[in-house]
């Protein structure tokens, strides 16, 4: 069973900008926690700070009992954290195979695991030796996620996986996320698309102005239209 | 749905082969003007050899820049150090060089090459830790610091080895030329070409078939993501820096042997050429540097024959021409 | 303080040092007798202008360029070749200056428009290549430029060493054309320096600094960064051209070593960093320190070297050999880059603040 992620009083400054202003967040072990909020609320910054790409100026971050806040990104990753950034960050000049090989830091690629991944991302098997740069947007997103899960992880940080993707592809992504969730890994996911969030998420945390302004179960939020309107600006069903 | 959405791979051939053919095209274009076949062969062979030596010096620089955005002006010091290192082997073992034995001749050459590479690698490590590391990420300071380092290194070389040029003589086996009819190809040039090709093959092997090569290629594209995947990019960078320095040293040693003397000025002279080569080739691309080195050397040789006044400027003109055609170089790395 | 465009040195030690340097330069012919000190003083004046114009680009606009010495060369060769070809007249001098300025402007525009679109490191490398090409070109066109040997020429009438302004000596010094040339150089440098001070303290100058700090923000705020940077490149080039013209006039000689070699570019870098980037006063201090060291430090080093050799110490005699003076300056340069990025100017101002 994976560990829980906790943030206490986390502040992050980027240059002169005070982006995270005291984030208290917990993502329970083995569940999918959705991180929602307007653009500019600080969601991506939160993920990057957890990952160690940006250093928190104050506060504590812990995965289970292990403190993360002063570790460099490579150490955070080695603790079993997988990261699929907003920009996907696939290595375009490398093949699909090579991209995945980089994700497998504890040894060679595991065939059984690969078969499992190919199950919901068949395109990756088709383009195994092709240059990642020649993949479509949706396929790159699949590759980014596949790379994050190519080995079992303790924690997955996923940033807006459905952004800019065609609705058909979003469907297969949701299926994939549900399967990953079934393995029991803790997931913290930023997602603008509330339909996706509602289908996949167990817990929800809403961010605004660098702070968490709401936390609770996804089911409750999904059922409460007025709460949705207050927190997220619009009735979210209108987002589809 | 467009071809992209359908997930088809786009045709690659046309985009990727043409830049690699430019040296061939230049050779073909120059041939009719040169006229005699023997002169053409001589010039082309000379160009290839020179290109290989330049490639040896430049490939490390392009990777260092590609990975960490470090423009290392200190690279000239490694080239110069390699040249002097060769003298450290050749002078005491002069008898091996003048002996009438292929084995001994080859041995002293290989020893010099290894010495140059190792010494430059060691110096590269020191240079990276002392001068480059403190200013990671600050472009301006990096440029200034590495220039300062280059100045200090060059002066130290003069202090240690003396300000005069140190003569070097080619081992017996590599003196003279192979003669084919009217065409003469210097034996040393053949050796230089072989060394350069070996270096290129070695680099391609490491880059494409090893995990560390994979990390380097990924790091050149997006080093932050490589970190986020769990790899210590700064350690990787030191290794790349040392390898680049070693190659620069090797190139310097070979060039010094070719010229018959070792002197610190060789560093500065070839630094500019290295910059031109990595710009033409595409920053961060070893394959690009390979093509660019050959291109630049061939153009310089042909121009030296056809239009001597233009020869020294030919590199710049080539650079401008390539940049007008391909603003990011012949083989730009994605994401840069 | 309008003559200083509202940008006084700020800092007592700094102001005193600057006043000393400027006074020494102003009174050089009378304070120091002999050809060498006057040479040092003239070279210092020229370098002040060369370094200050470079600081406009590097310190204020944040642009790293290695083509600065090329503009210096254009100015030197422009004036020198004109005086050589057309004979020593004021007309030739003026024509040379104008032609050089025009060429420099054209080159600066070309460089600016072509290269400022790209990453700063790319730009730096391209300027290096261009400057190198220019150097080669000057050697190649030896019919025109005199090749490696350069060209010697005579200066216009009153500036000739043989000319005598007043028969009597003033304070023990004969007021020859050489002295007049010196004061011409000095005066032009003072005026140009004050003009540069005006530029960096104008709205244009402030926008430049904003662009240096954060180009994207500046662009977003509506400033046309390309325009500002190109203009800065042109102004900097003109300053260097003027410095080159003055230097050629002083030496009555122009050649690749004195006007185009890359070592001059390196020297300028050392001066601007050690003196203090981002403050034109740094140019004064950096130039004075460098030229002085270049001329007099070597003697000190020579003595040290001999002493070390006499004491039988290894390596030290070589390290202190007068020809290795650049080693120590290079060391000072690297130390300045790491520990004193604002150079001597910054260090002096900082110690004052700390003391208060």
Contact C20, C251 (CB under 8 A): no
- On the 0-12 / 13-18 / 19+ scale of CB atoms within 10 A, C349 is buried
Using the predicted structure, report yes or no on whether residue B7 has a pLDDT greater than 80.
no
pLDDT, mean of residues B320-336? 81
Residue ranges of domains in chain C, CATH in brackets: 2-355 (1.10.3470)
- Which residue in chain B is spatially nearest to C142 when comparing CA positions? B309
The share of chain C scoring above pLDDT 70, in percent, equals 97
- Strand, helix or coil at A9? strand
Instruction: Strands of A175-221 (E only): list them.
Output: 186-190, 203-208, 211-217
A127: CATH: 3.40.50.300
pLDDT, mean of residues C241-247? 96
Contact C272, C279 (CB under 8 A): no
Q: Which of A180-184, A199-203, B301-305, C312-316 has the lowest mean pLDDT?
A: C312-316
pLDDT of residue C119: 67
Instruction: Give A131 to chain B, closest Cα distance, Å.
Output: 8
pLDDT of residue C299: 84
Using the predicted structure, report yes or no on whether residue B10 has a pLDDT greater than 60.
no
- In terms of Cα–Cα distance, which of C292, C294, C299 is closest to C321? C299
pLDDT of residue B4: 41
Residue-averaged pLDDT of chain B: 87
- Which residue in chain B is spatially nearest to C272 when comparing CA positions? B144
Using the predicted structure, report yes or no on whether residue C266 has a pLDDT greater than 90.
no
Tell me whether residues A102 and B4 touch, CB distance under 8 A: no
Using the predicted structure, report yes or no on whether residue C332 has a pLDDT greater than 50.
yes
Residues of A in contact with B217 (CB under 8 A): 91, 93-94, 98
Q: Name the DSSP letter for residue C285.
A: H
Q: Which residue has the higher pLDDT, B48 or C87?
A: B48
Chosen from C294, C330, C336 to mutate, greatest number of chain B CBs within 10 A: C330
pLDDT of residue B212: 92
Tell me whether residues B268 and C137 touch, CB distance under 8 A: no
User: Is residue B10 within 8 angstroms of chain A, CB to CB?
Assistant: yes
**Number of CB atoms found within 10 A of residue A3's CB:** 20
Instruction: Give A171 to chain B, closest Cα distance, Å.
Output: 15
Query: Residue B7: which of A77, A102, A136 has the nearest Cβ?
Result: A136
pLDDT of residue B12: 46
Query: Residue B141: which of C129, C140, C337 has the nearest Cβ?
Result: C337
- Strand, helix or coil at C176? strand
**Number of CB atoms found within 10 A of residue A175's CB:** 14
Chosen from B159, B276, B304, B336 to mutate, greatest number of chain C CBs within 10 A: B159
Q: Name the DSSP letter for residue A95.
A: B
- Within 13 Å, how many C-alpha atoms sit on residue A29's CB side? 9
Residue written as tokens 């050999």? C321
Instruction: Give C327 to chain B, closest Cα distance, Å.
Output: 5
Structure pTM?
Answer: 0.85
- Strand, helix or coil at A127? coil
Q: How confident is the model at residue C150 (pLDDT cuts 50, 70, 90)?
A: confident
Q: Which residue has the higher pLDDT, A1 or B279?
A: B279
- Which residue in chain B is spatially nearest to C305 when comparing CA positions? B159
Query: Residue B228: which of A83, A98, A139 has the nearest Cβ?
Result: A83
Cα dist. C260→C138, C139, C232, C287 in Å? Answer: 9, 10, 21, 18
- The predicted-structure confidence for C161-186, as pLDDT tens digits, reads as follows 877 777 777 777 778 888 889 999 99
Tell me whether residues B4 and A123 touch, CB distance under 8 A: no
Q: How confident is the model at residue B336 (pLDDT cuts 50, 70, 90)?
A: low
Using the predicted structure, report yes or no on whether residue A71 has a pLDDT greater than 70.
yes
Tell me whether residues A147 and B226 touch, CB distance under 8 A: no
Q: How confident is the model at residue C355 (pLDDT cuts 50, 70, 90)?
A: low
- Which residue in chain B is spatially nearest to A149 when comparing CA positions? B229
Using the predicted structure, report yes or no on whether residue B5 has a pLDDT greater than 50.
no
Q: Count of CB contacts below 8 A, A vs B?
A: 81
**Number of CB atoms found within 10 A of residue C103's CB:** 17
Tell me whether residues B156 and C315 touch, CB distance under 8 A: no
Q: Which residue has the higher pLDDT, B292 or C292?
A: B292
Task: Give chains near C: 3+ CB pairs under 8 A.
Answer: B
Selection from A55-59, A163-167, B138-142 with the highest mean pLDDT: A55-59
Could you give phi then psi for residue A87, rounded to 5 degrees? -85, 5
pLDDT of residue A4: 92
- Which residue in chain B is spatially nearest to A122 when comparing CA positions? B7
Q: Which residues contact B196 (CB under 8 A, 6 or more apart)?
A: B49, B51, B52, B53, B55, B56
Query: Residue A136: which of B4, B214, B227 has the nearest Cβ?
Result: B4
Tell me whether residues C341 and B141 touch, CB distance under 8 A: yes
Residues of C in contact with B135 (CB under 8 A): 337-338
Q: Which residues contact B301 (CB under 8 A, 6 or more apart)?
A: B43, B44, B46, B47, B50
Using the predicted structure, report yes or no on whether residue B213 has a pLDDT greater than 80.
yes
User: Is residue B11 within 8 angstroms of chain A, CB to CB?
Assistant: no
Q: Which residue has the higher pLDDT, B99 or B150?
A: B150
pLDDT of residue C220: 79
Using the predicted structure, report yes or no on whether residue B307 has a pLDDT greater than 60.
yes
- Strand, helix or coil at C9? coil
Could you give phi then psi for residue A84, rounded to 5 degrees? -120, 100
Could you give phi then psi for residue A18, rounded to 5 degrees? -95, 90
Query: Residue B218: which of A91, A131, A166 has the nearest Cβ?
Result: A91
pLDDT of residue B14: 44
Residues of B in contact with A105 (CB under 8 A): 229-231
Domain that holds residue A117: 5-239
pLDDT of residue B79: 95
Q: Which of A38-42, A100-104, B262-266, C352-356 has the lowest mean pLDDT?
A: C352-356
Q: Which residues contact C24 (CB under 8 A, 6 or more apart)?
A: C31, C41
Cα dist. C124→B71, B200, C66, C121, C128 in Å? Answer: 10, 28, 6, 5, 6
* Cα C107 → chain centroid: 19
Using the predicted structure, report yes or no on whether residue C85 has a pLDDT greater than 50.
yes
Residues of A in contact with B328 (CB under 8 A): none
User: Is residue C308 within 8 angstroms of chain B, CB to CB?
Assistant: no
Task: Give chains near A: 3+ CB pairs under 8 A.
Answer: B
pLDDT of residue C48: 96
Residues of B in contact with C329 (CB under 8 A): 151
Tell me whether residues B9 and A134 touch, CB distance under 8 A: yes
Question: Per DSSP, what are the bridge partners of residue A153?
Answer: none
Task: Give the Cα separation of A240 and C131 in Å (integer).
Answer: 59
Task: Give the Cα separation of B268 and C262 in Å (integer).
Answer: 10
pLDDT, mean of residues A151-157? 93
Using the predicted structure, report yes or no on whether residue A47 has a pLDDT greater than 90.
yes
Query: Residue B214: which of A51, A98, A123 has the nearest Cβ?
Result: A98
Bridge-based pairing of strands A203-208 and A211-217 is: antiparallel
Query: Residue B156: which of C132, C327, C333 has the nearest Cβ?
Result: C327
Q: Which residue has the higher pLDDT, C317 or B287?
A: B287
Q: Give me the number of domains chain A comprises.
A: 1
pLDDT, mean of residues C11-15? 84
Residues of B in contact with C129 (CB under 8 A): 272, 275-276, 279, 315-316, 319
Contact A23, A46 (CB under 8 A): yes
Task: Give the Cα separation of B114 and B87 in Å (integer).
Answer: 12
Q: Which residues contact B126 (CB under 8 A, 6 or more apart)?
A: none
Tell me whether residues A74 and B333 touch, CB distance under 8 A: no
User: Is residue B204 within 8 angstroms of chain A, CB to CB?
Assistant: no
Contact B154, B80 (CB under 8 A): yes
User: Is residue C314 within 8 angstroms of chain B, CB to CB?
Assistant: no
pLDDT of residue C49: 97
Task: Give the Cα separation of C28 and B246 in Å (integer).
Answer: 51
Q: Which residues contact A50 (CB under 8 A, 6 or more apart)?
A: A5, A7, A61, A68, A76, A81, A157, A188
Selection from C41-45, C265-269, C343-347 with the highest mean pLDDT: C41-45
Tell me whether residues B230 and A72 touch, CB distance under 8 A: no
Tell me whether residues B214 and A134 touch, CB distance under 8 A: no
pLDDT of residue C230: 87
Tell me whether residues B272 and C128 touch, CB distance under 8 A: yes
Task: Give the Cα separation of C12 and C348 in Å (integer).
Answer: 9
Contact A62, A56 (CB under 8 A): no
Q: How confident is the model at residue A41 (pLDDT cuts 50, 70, 90)?
A: confident
Q: How confident is the model at residue C71 (pLDDT cuts 50, 70, 90)?
A: very high
pLDDT of residue A80: 92
pLDDT of residue B99: 83
Q: Which residue has the higher pLDDT, B196 or C314?
A: B196
Task: Give chains near B: 3+ CB pairs under 8 A.
Answer: A, C
**Number of CB atoms found within 10 A of residue A184's CB:** 12
- The predicted-structure confidence for B138-192, as pLDDT tens digits, reads as follows 777 888 899 999 999 999 999 999 889 999 888 888 888 888 777 778 889 899 9
C-alpha distance across the termini of chain C, in Å: 24
pLDDT of residue C356: 55
- The predicted-structure confidence for A131-142, as pLDDT tens digits, reads as follows 999 998 889 999
Q: Which residue has the higher pLDDT, C136 or A23?
A: A23
Instruction: Strands of C158-274 (E only): list them.
Output: 253-254
pLDDT of residue B49: 92
Could you give phi then psi for residue B261, rounded to 5 degrees? -155, 155
**Number of CB atoms found within 10 A of residue C298's CB:** 16
Token reading at B242: 């040392």
Chosen from C286, C337, C339, C341 to mutate, greatest number of chain B CBs within 10 A: C337
3-state secondary structure chain B: CCCCCCCCCCCCHHHHHHHHHHHHHHHHHHHHHHCCHHHHHHHHHHHHHHHHHHHHHHHHHHHHHHHHCCCCCCHHHHHHHHHHHHHHHHCCCHHHHHCCCHHHHHHHHHHHHHHHHHHHHHHHHHHHHHHHHHHCCCHHHHHHHHHHHHHHHHHHHHHHHCCCCEECCCCHHHCCEEEECCEEEEHHHHHHHHHHHHHHHHHHHHHHHCHHHHHHHHHHHCHHHHHHCCCCHHHHHHHHHHHHHHHHHHHHHHHHHHHCEECCHHHHHHHHHHHHHHHHHCCCCHHHHHHHHHHHHHHHHHHHHHCHHHHHHHHHHHHHHHHHHCCCCCCCCCCC
A204: left (phi over 0), alpha (psi -120 to 50) or beta: beta
Tell me whether residues C321 and B159 touch, CB distance under 8 A: yes
Angle among Cα A131, A137, A140 to the nearest 5 degrees reads 50
């Amino acid at each position: 069973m994976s560990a829980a992620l906790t943030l206490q009083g986390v502040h992050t400054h980027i240059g002169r900008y005070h982006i995270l202003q005291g984030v208290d967040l917990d993502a329970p072990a083995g569940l999918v926690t959705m991180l929602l909020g307007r653009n500019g609320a600080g969601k991506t910054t939160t993920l990057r700070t957890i990952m160690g790409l940006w250093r928190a100026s104050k506060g504590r971050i812990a995965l289970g009992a292990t403190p993360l806040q002063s570790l460099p990104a490579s150490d955070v990753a080695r603790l079993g954290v997988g990261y699929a950034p907003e920009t996907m960050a696939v290595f375009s000049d490398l093949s699909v195979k090579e991209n995945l090989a980089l994700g497998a830091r504890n040894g060679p690629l595991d065939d059984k695991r690969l078969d499992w991944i190919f199950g919901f991302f068949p395109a990756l098997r088709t383009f195994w030796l092709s240059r990642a740069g020649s993949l479509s947007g949706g396929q790159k997103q699949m590759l980014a996620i596949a790379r994050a899960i190519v080995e079992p992880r303790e924690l997955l940080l996923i940033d807006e996986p459905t952004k800019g993707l065609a609705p058909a592809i979003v469907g297969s992504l949701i299926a994939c996320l549900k399967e990953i969730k079934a393995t029991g890994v803790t997931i913290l996911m930023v997602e603008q698309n509330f339909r996706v969030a509602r289908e996949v998420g167990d817990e929800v945390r809403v961010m605004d102005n660098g702070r968490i302004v709401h936390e609770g179960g996804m089911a409750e939020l999904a059922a409460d239209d007025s709460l949705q309107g207050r927190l997220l600006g619009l009735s979210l069903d209108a987002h589809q | 749905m467009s071809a992209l959405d359908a997930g088809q791979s786009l045709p690659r051939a046309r985009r990727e082969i043409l830049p690699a053919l430019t040296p061939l095209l230049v050779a073909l274009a120059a041939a009719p003007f040169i006229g005699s076949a023997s002169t053409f062969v001589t010039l082309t062979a000379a160009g290839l050899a020179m290109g290989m030596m330049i490639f040896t010096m430049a490939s490390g620089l392009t990777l260092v820049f590609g990975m960490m955005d470090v423009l290392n002006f200190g690279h000239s010091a490694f080239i110069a150090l390699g040249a002097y290192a060769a003298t450290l082997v050749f002078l005491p073992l002069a008898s091996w060089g003048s002996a009438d034995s292929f084995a001994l001749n080859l041995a002293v050459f290989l020893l010099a090459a290894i010495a140059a590479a190792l010494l430059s690698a060691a110096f590269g490590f020191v240079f990276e830790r002392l001068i480059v590391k403190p200013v990671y990420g600050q472009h301006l300071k990096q440029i200034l610091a590495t220039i300062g380092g280059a100045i200090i290194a060059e002066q130290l070389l003069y202090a240690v080895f003396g300000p005069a040029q140190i003569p070097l003589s080619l081992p017996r086996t590599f003196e003279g030329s192979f003669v084919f009819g009217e065409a003469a190809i210097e034996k040393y040039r053949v050796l230089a070409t072989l060394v350069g090709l070996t270096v290129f093959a070695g680099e391609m092997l490491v880059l494409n078939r090893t995990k560390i090569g994979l990390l380097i290629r990924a790091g050149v594209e997006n080093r932050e993501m490589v970190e986020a995947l769990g790899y210590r990019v700064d350690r990787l960078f030191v290794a790349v820096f040392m390898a680049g320095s070693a190659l620069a040293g090797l190139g310097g040693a070979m060039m010094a042997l070719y010229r018959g003397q070792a002197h610190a000025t060789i560093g500065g002279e070839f630094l500019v050429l290295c910059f031109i080569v990595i710009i033409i080739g595409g920053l961060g691309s070893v394959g690009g540097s390979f093509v660019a080195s050959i291109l630049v050397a061939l153009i310089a040789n042909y121009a030296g024959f056809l239009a001597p006044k233009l020869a020294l400027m030919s590199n710049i003109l080539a650079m401008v021409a390539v940049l007008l055609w391909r603003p990011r170089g012949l083989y730009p790395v994605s994401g840069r | 303080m309008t003559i200083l465009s509202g940008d006084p040195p700020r800092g007592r030690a700094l102001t005193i040092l600057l006043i000393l340097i400027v006074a020494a330069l102003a009174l050089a012919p009378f304070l120091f007798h002999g050809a060498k000190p006057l040479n040092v003083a003239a070279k210092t004046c020229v370098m002040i202008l060369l370094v200050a114009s470079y600081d406009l680009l590097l310190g204020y606009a944040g642009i790293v360029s290695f083509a600065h010495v090329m503009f210096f060369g254009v100015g030197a060769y422009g004036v020198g070749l004109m005086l050589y070809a057309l004979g020593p007249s004021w007309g030739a001098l003026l024509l040379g200056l104008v032609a050089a300025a025009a060429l420099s402007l054209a080159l600066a525009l070309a460089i600016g428009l072509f290269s400022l679109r790209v990453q700063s490191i790319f730009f730096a490398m391209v300027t290096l290549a261009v400057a190198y090409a220019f150097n080669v070109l000057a050697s190649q066109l030896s019919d025109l430029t005199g090749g490696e040997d350069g060209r010697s020429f005579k200066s216009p009438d009153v500036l000739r060493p043989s000319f005598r302004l007043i028969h009597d000596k003033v304070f023990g010094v004969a007021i020859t054309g050489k002295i007049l040339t010196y004061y011409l150089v000095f005066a032009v440098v003072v005026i140009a320096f004050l003009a540069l001070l005006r530029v960096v303290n104008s709205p244009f100058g402030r926008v430049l600094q904003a662009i240096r700090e954060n180009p994207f923000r500046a662009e977003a705020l509506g400033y046309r960064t390309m325009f500002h940077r190109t203009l800065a490149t042109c102004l900097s080039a003109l300053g260097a051209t003027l410095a080159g013209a003055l230097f050629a006039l002083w030496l009555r000689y122009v050649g690749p070593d004195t006007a185009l070699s890359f070592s001059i570019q390196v020297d300028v870098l050392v001066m601007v960093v050690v003196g203090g980037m981002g403050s034109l006063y740094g140019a004064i201090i950096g130039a004075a320190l460098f030229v002085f060291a270049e001329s007099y430090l070597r003697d000190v080093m020579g003595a040290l070297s001999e002493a070390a050799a006499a004491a039988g110490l290894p390596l030290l005699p070589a390290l202190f050999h007068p020809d290795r003076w650049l080693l120590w300056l290079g060391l000072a340069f690297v130390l300045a880059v790491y520990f004193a990025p604002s150079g001597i100017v910054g260090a002096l101002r900082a110690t004052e603040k700390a003391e208060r």
